[in-house]
Amino acid sequence: MARCREIAACTEVPGEITRLFLTPPMHEVHALLREWMETAGMTVRVDAIGNLRGLWPGLTPRSPCLLIASHLDTVTNAGAFDGILGVVLGVAIVEEFNGQFQPFAIEVIGFSEEEGVRFSKPFLGSLALVGKLDANTLARTDRRGISVAEAIQAYGLDPAQLSTAALSNETFAYLEFHIEQGPVLESEDTSLGVVEALVGQTRMELNFAGQANHAGTTPMHLRHDAMAAAAEWIVAVEDHASSHSGLVATVGKVAAAPGAGNVIAGHVTASLDVRHADDSAREASVIAILNLAETAAARRGVHVTSGKQLEQPAVLLDPHLTAVLGKAAARAGFPARRMTSGAGHDAMILAPIVPSAMLFLRSPGGLSHHPDETVLPQDVEAALATAMEFLAQLRDDRTNPKDGHA
Amino acid sequence: MARCREIAACTEVPGEITRLFLTPPMHEVHALLREWMETAGMTVRVDAIGNLRGLWPGLTPRSPCLLIASHLDTVTNAGAFDGILGVVLGVAIVEEFNGQFQPFAIEVIGFSEEEGVRFSKPFLGSLALVGKLDANTLARTDRRGISVAEAIQAYGLDPAQLSTAALSNETFAYLEFHIEQGPVLESEDTSLGVVEALVGQTRMELNFAGQANHAGTTPMHLRHDAMAAAAEWIVAVEDHASSHSGLVATVGKVAAAPGAGNVIAGHVTASLDVRHADDSAREASVIAILNLAETAAARRGVHVTSGKQLEQPAVLLDPHLTAVLGKAAARAGFPARRMTSGAGHDAMILAPIVPSAMLFLRSPGGLSHHPDETVLPQDVEAALATAMEFLAQLRDDRTNPKDGHA
């Protein structure tokens, strides 16, 4: 936690924590982590997308390799633990080895980009690892017109060398620690959560077109009130999600036009965000929710249209590794809740390529992306103890392979 | 209608109708109306607030005086009939006399200001008539920093002479023609409406304070969604108003913060506009509607506060004059609907001082404050015929006074 706070001081904006992809303070972060990693005996490099990579070798040069990673960038005015904690925990695990080599190597990676703030596209660091950082992405520009490729060069790296950022062939598993960024663990008085899946997500915009009219001279029965239609729908969205297990649905952005207190709204635009770990459940709910909009609108002679902005399938983490992680937590004395992640994480990018597992740490107040974001010391200890049990199990699996999950 | 369109060409903004209080195009309006009035034999003056006043004398210099008036200013990008039509009809009535003097004088007034656009305060013209234009109002400034007093001077008038704008002591009745600016008459296939009262109005702002949170990581049962609370309330407001006769209630302005599609709204501000012709009915509804907000908010752990922005009592028009106007319409062959006005008009300012009546003309499409605002020729004929019957009745009343409504 002290290390996270030390890294938090590396910021573009004094007085807050703001550290976007490949901005100058990232050099300071790399220097700090490099020092801790090298002191622990790791070999450190920065790859061509700006990921900091520390390798603790295995017993042989061709030992299989476990990846422990999370991200080093932050949102604007962020907290001190989102991302960073997962990297610092990776270093702490290697330090726990006390110089002892393992039957597998461990590579700890601090991804250069996950939040998507600077180039309005997330996961740049992990996408490079799996070879999915394409030319279009390299050509994206930030607010100042600087492209991703130019940002890489300005940081002192070579975008032509991106292929060297690729995952090593020896990688056999991916493990990510992350704060929950939600209230579930706290509400259940639990330190840790084992993530089974990262939810799929549909984002839409709905337009309710009624008729703007004078609030005084238009009797209720002659109105086509777009705001009343949207409001009925917003309540129906909440009802629907509350009665469907594992579903969350949110209308967070609403704009009424003309937007005057004495004019009936003629037009309302509203956002819709629907998430579920099961894609077909999510898709069925999106259809049901759009039907609810039709019903609320038709009742008032309001016309509703919708457009899809994002459709992202759910990502399942590796069932075996996830089971091992769950048992490890229990053995460490911290039985973990099985849960889905409602937010995106680098594990989403790695999971289709390499067996992946993810451990959540309780977020006090459910708070994240906020200066008050924190984590409890005992939960960090629980995560580290769980990690050591998890590694012990991986060692056993390597030493005494079973057919059960070949 | 041709005269209204001719006046519509007097505008600050070519291509649209925009004519605020005492702006240069008002000189052209005054010139046109002065010509029509003087041709009809009227004596014309502009008073110190910029009201154009044409007097058709009665049989004697001390004859009682009937006021026929409406306003000459417009909103931004207005239609051609709002206000103007009532003034032009006053001139047309005098023209119908064909030079015959009546047992009462008629003063036709084109009020200089009713819409409240330039100085964010309406009724400046009629307020001067009843001596309620105070020093604070004269000191108000427009967007360019020009005060009402300075605007009067710039127009070539003298704010020190405001007392000469006062209503003459002989005035015994006020009559206003105005387009309905609403859909009621059209929906009932009726030309004319006799206004019994102008509604009272409460305007408030409500604040729903919940908790902003991640739309993906916060399960439905752990949310404090300010938007969902506001939405439930908006639907309840519509329900309440729909089930209370004569009530209109509108939520036309809604803003959710932080206002991102993937963030649960932590804060929502919403407007409330409640109108009824009966003040105690309106007050009871405001209390009920605030209770509905409490209920919707409490259910979600959301806190709601509210502030009153405007409270304006209803204004009853003169029951006798209103009855006379209703009978006149029926006699003219256009049975009029008895109705309340949901909007404010100069008649609100005059009614407490002098017996007042008001006649609405159907608004095609319910449209007003819009370039497409119009009126049907047969409805203008109906209004003029009603006016002539109304004046005939007033003549009879003057000639054969009864005790019934002394």
Section A169-188 average pLDDT: 96
pLDDT more than 90, % of chain B? 94
Radius of gyration of chain B (CA): 24
Q: Which two tokens stand for residue B211?
A: 């908790």
- pLDDT band of A404, cuts 50, 70, 90: very low
Q: pTM of the predicted model, to two decimals?
A: 0.87
- pLDDT band of B401, cuts 50, 70, 90: low
Which of B234, B264, B285, B341 to mutate to probe the A interface, most A CBs <10 Å? B234
The more confident residue out of B57 and B398 is B57
- Lowest mean pLDDT, pick from B86-90, B177-181, B264-268, B397-401: B397-401
Q: How far is B41 from chain A (nearest CA, A)?
A: 37
pLDDT, tens digit, 9 for 90 and up, residues B93-111 = 999 999 999 999 999 999 9
pLDDT at B405: 46
pLDDT at B139: 96
pLDDT, tens digit, 9 for 90 and up, residues B49-59 = 999 999 999 99
- pLDDT band of B406, cuts 50, 70, 90: very low
- pLDDT band of A402, cuts 50, 70, 90: low
How many whole angstroms separate alpha carbon B56 and alpha carbon B79?
29
Measured between beta carbons, the chain B residues lying within 8 angstroms of A201 are 216
pLDDT more than 90, % of chain A? 94
Out of A183-187, B210-214, B307-311, the most confident range is A183-187
Section B290-301 average pLDDT: 98
Contact criterion met (CB < 8 Å) for A203 and B232:
no
pLDDT, tens digit, 9 for 90 and up, residues A252-280 = 999 999 998 989 999 999 999 999 999 99
Packing angle of the helix pair B279-298, B226-242 (nearest 10 deg): 150
Contact criterion met (CB < 8 Å) for A235 and B253:
no
pLDDT, tens digit, 9 for 90 and up, residues B58-90 = 999 889 999 999 999 999 999 999 999 999 999
Contact criterion met (CB < 8 Å) for B251 and A230:
no
Section B121-139 average pLDDT: 95
Count, residues in chain B:
406
Q: How far is B298 from chain A (nearest CA, A)?
A: 15
Which of A184, A198, A214, A268 to mutate to probe the B interface, most B CBs <10 Å? A214
pLDDT at A406: 38
Which of A77, A262, A292 to mutate to probe the B interface, most B CBs <10 Å? A262
Section A22-49 average pLDDT: 98
pLDDT at A397: 85
In sequence order, the 6+-apart residues with CB closer than 8 A to the CB of B145 are: none
Measured between beta carbons, the chain B residues lying within 8 angstroms of A264 are 250, 252
Residue A195 has pLDDT above 70, yes or no: yes
- pLDDT band of B397, cuts 50, 70, 90: confident
pLDDT more than 70, % of chain B? 99
With CA atoms as reference, the chain A residue closest to B231 would be: A231
- Report the DSSP pairing between strands A192-198 and A337-341: parallel
pLDDT at B285: 98
Question: Is the interface score ipTM higher than 0.85?
Answer: yes
With CA atoms as reference, the chain B residue closest to A241 would be: B220
Residue A401 has pLDDT above 80, yes or no: no
